[in-house]
Amino acid sequence: MGSSRSSILCFLMLCASFLVPTSCHSYSHGALFIFGDSFYDAGNNIYLNTSNTSLAKLSIFPYGETYFKHPTGRVSDGRLIPDFIAEFAKLPLIPPYLQPGNHQFTNGVNFASGGAGALVENNQGPNMEKQLRKKLGASEVKTLLSTAVYMFSIGSNDYLVPFITNSTLLQSYSKKEYVKMVIGNITTVIQEIYKIGGRKFGLSKLIPWGCFPFSRELKLSSTGGSGCMEEFTLLAKLHNRALLEALKELKKSQLKGYTYSIFDAYTVATAIFNNPSKYGFEEVKWHAVAAVH
């Protein structure tokens, strides 16, 4: 098994192990609450009222064709990392929060939404505790939240938006200052979840976004140049280093019982970009669709 596959497997197993029963209360089987962007979105964007035409593409093939045999709203032709973690933990697939008729929260909820970011400007999600209290009641929510795992895939859009809009954020701050704001919002959310009982967190590093097919095409259309958008990749590297340090600092603080796992998506994606055929891809530079089979 290659190092990239080993990295993915270790992350899946560790996050799933967080859900192993530790007591005899009614929610000892654990729950999975998922936050983030299109990497973890299980279909919330299908149900959003939006004029964004790019979202309509999620309801046609090849999305969903590998595993589900129909489009599900996932930006993938198969399952996503949270789907595999749920499977490892013997949980059903965690449904998108906005899915009509979804009123079962004891296994968790997927709040991830394509386009979401950590900064206020970039599509924040709903208040989880407030929504759950309406469904389950305060006492049951407290028990549920204390045994759950909280997964995050967030940050990519915060660095992407300045490149595809008229935003002046990157001109108003240095790269390190901007990254610090993004990381600060992520750790603030972790601490807020901790306050309501959350103890187990799974996070992901950013991929080398500058070499992603979308970024290559963006560079080609905007400058006529080929190759990777190095500035975008640099931001991803700065983010990944800052995220790891921030998680370590939280561990050193007085957050009793706080624990985390971090998935090195940067290394995995780099391995795929450098040797696509090893991982079942023919093309990763221009028109490839990233998918989990």
Residue by residue, pLDDT tens for the chain (293 residues) are 456 666 656 655 666 666 654 443 444 458 999 999 999 999 998 888 765 545 556 788 889 999 999 999 999 999 999 999 999 888 999 999 888 886 677 899 899 998 889 986 544 545 566 767 777 777 787 888 888 999 999 999 999 888 888 777 788 899 999 999 999 999 999 999 999 899 999 999 999 998 888 888 888 777 777 778 888 999 999 999 999 999 999 998 889 999 999 999 999 999 988 888 888 888 777 544 433 33
Residue 152 has phi, psi (to 5 degrees) of -130, 135
pLDDT of residue 5: 60
- CATH code, 3-279: 3.40.50
pLDDT for position 290: 39
Distance, CA of 67 to CA of 102 (rounded, Å) = 21
SS3 (DSSP) at 107: coil
Question: CA-to-CA distance for 153 and 174, rounded, in angstroms?
Answer: 23
Q: Is 100 exposed, middle or buried (0-12, 13-18, 19+ CB in 10 A)?
A: exposed
The confidence score (pLDDT) of residue 175 equals 93
Domain ranges within the chain, ordered by starting residue: 3-279
Closest CA to 73 of 89, 86, 57: 57
For residue 199, the model assigns a pLDDT of 93
What is the torsional sign of CA 154, 145, 190, 266?
negative
